[in-house]
Structure 1
């Protein structure tokens, strides 16, 4: 065989495969995953099993929730190509778990961790708890959680909140930055501050912080973590072990520990400050929290006999400021790690922070129903309450569907070391609904397949229109969706719909489908050709697939093709060019498996039937000339 001819054949095959892949990509980008997968499979048959094609095939099935097929093609990709985008390894892990192949998922999880060790999804990831871990980043999607870094945070540590009489009390190291430094972090010692809260329907405003006024609560050392009784008469707070002479007291090893103190509200100020009787000079006690009925005090301690570094304890409060014996909350709450910052809501839900339970990294916020159910397991609140950093000091203001409150975190993006964040958590859903109609007759269309696609391109719901042409989806607030509609004999439709934060809003979205068969024609978007060319462009292939689909759907249909050029060039040349364009259009349709006998003719008319003024000698823009470069598809037999 002539070597030049062989090279030409190879070049043609390579070009054809490349064009087919581009066409598949176009369908993929427009959410037509079934058609895209068909074309990608054809590309593989023709010899292209590149990482791009294999992973796109996996994505086609992944986005349509076909885990078995997604596993097949992701598996081929990750096993063949070492330097593949790690995101496909992650998707492979997800689909493996979906079909219950946990051993293979764990194997790939270990590999994923080695190449993506700073990926936030695997911080603290335990392969044996992969299913549970995934839940931590996926709370109820119908719940909107707004998290806000508060305006009064400083460049130093600010954390821990307690709301009392429209004042928010918190700890801060923003004090005397010149003389008062804590050796641990070279920040000033913590004092208690307060800000006034102005709560309106539109927003919450905070005053400038000021030191807790008219009291002897603050000293030259640490004060933090406040709890105040329901009647407002007694405050419990954490302080360094300070002597009456305002000096630190130490144990025999030279360590100064934390203690819980009690103060009484008298004549507009906090007085009568005393330490609690179960404090000790050889271990720390701090982070007080009161039960809903104020009959129990919870606290944190590193005393001997606990389960870990710090445990949470409880003590009964009796009349006349008498306290019972402290009790460890047990191993349902406490671990070998750190349990800290307890808080009890009005409905007696127990909140705390821990780095010992399954978490996203460092301290996470948990909740437990153990007060009502002694065997209840703690639940990680998940993102966005928790991150890969320290998240702690949860303080809730309500327990219904609209939950508000505060927590503290040293996550990136804050103003200082630790910052206080507010949260507003509420359930919010909306409806996307409408009627599907023929774009010309306005008649309703039944049995139209409607798919709901999320922002990452995954089909999350699908429905067919009813006898009235109606469809409806319940969706989440503050999201972007794509509505995709398809029906035989009609052009596919897709359009984005954005939801906002308005609860129960109905997003009206009527759909008008354009019939492909109009009179004696199959009407598609114009098939354009490049100037002086007759090869089929990718955008033309995309449109010609509508012709292929109609001919597959109607096996007895016979068509004829007409092609036209613009006026540039000689008339005789344009006639020949239009014939080549008609023939290349016919050849593409035949290449997709359509019997050649079903195309009666492919005729070119040159520039004899222009659609606009752009005849010989008339100056026109390239866009105006392109209008005349077109093809028509007439139905000879239906």
Structure 2
């Protein structure tokens, strides 16, 4: 009895403990879903000490990661991978980035290689595991810039994002205004951002920095300012809060939007949101080109390559805007690209965690040439550090600019730094010799084959590329000059074709895939199983021995290709009554399909249909009144009496 009481008490305590933890997990999840990462981290930490489940450790790591607490994030992810194997490979990437941010580059590389092996087509894995990616080159080589902390502008809170405006600068800050703080953001329990300005000649003095008017600064976030060339239009980022209305998306998130204000009589008025904003996603960090014709910005809108991408839109000059366009995969990765700044000499500066860098967010530059942005270059240390470096801007004439960073040694959360260019921002890189190799894959009817697999090997037999043709059956590569390659085209139900070539000149490759011996095309170009004609006795539907031999071939093909779906279609010639012919063809179609099913083929993979005389393959027509009868030979009529097994689709394996 005593043991029973003890066991009952133990079960009761265990149940109460589980109930308590479930309730606490719900509380922590609610904080996390509301982007209250500080409160969420505290709750998940308590839970992890008692029962470190996979969910708790994931969320604990993410709560630290999203608040750039990389030491704590790396420790949480380490426990996660020690005890569990998360299905989401993104956790490998975040763990690798957290390790990189705390200076553990060796272990970071190990986890980045694991991430790359899991997601081979993710550009981030390719970038960070590239044999030419040299961390020492961007950490310790000769710097491109001199960087110094603007100690008199920075506070213990977040200060970032400088924009030049004649003889003053605008920047964003969570500093207190007077004695009161209007609101506190749940993400990090810090005040909301406002936009401030200060004269350039007072950057190195302790004078108070001035906030913009309440028309611009509200009780929520405002940041990231940019101006039209004449300085009369200001673009800035704000929470989805306008005219006193605070809007959320269907998940409960309040997203960011870009707003436009006009400078009239020394006031910023006529504030409107831009038409490509949305309640469903964020749009922010605007930057206007020198000619005022383009607006660059960051967004996670549909069509993004990664978590956040850089887009641009044409400014038409009549308060309208063009089509929003993504800058594409040369700039954007599957990760985060943020804080674009387009300089007066058409160099795009932006921050990214998807291109190879030193820390969490690194600053990169990409030159606009002939309407296209070139491969981004890392600005190296000391512009980039092991943590977040962002909101970089530069005047190409004065060679002076600004940087924001939460690196160690600053005054507070994010700090503003002065930047002086020491040498040309974008190093001249000798372009490697490349040849453009194009090609097509066609079938025996000279029709292009879409989605055919293309395997490209070098002279040693090592696979260089493994891709598929586009919707038109075409493929295209840029390959190193004067190399030997072997290329093979493959497609299920076709015979392979292989060709060899040398990249001493641009080449056009043609691969011709003949159909596998089990298949052919019928008279209306449908893919069918290749068998001899199936004959029935007059007015009969019984399967004769000679027909059974052919139907067994169909069974063998279906067993060989278990994902293939077919239809058994029977047809008659036009002689005789049309209604009779229709019913006869239906009975014969069913008879052939029943035979195939009786040999073990799943009924879901085959259907039967009779077409009577409705699908003649020649002109041997003959209606019931014989008013349109065409004189045909027995062989011509026989061509219409056919049973075919048409390939309908290929079910996923």
TM range (shorter): 0.3 to 0.5
* TM-score, normalised by the number of residues in structure 2: 0.44
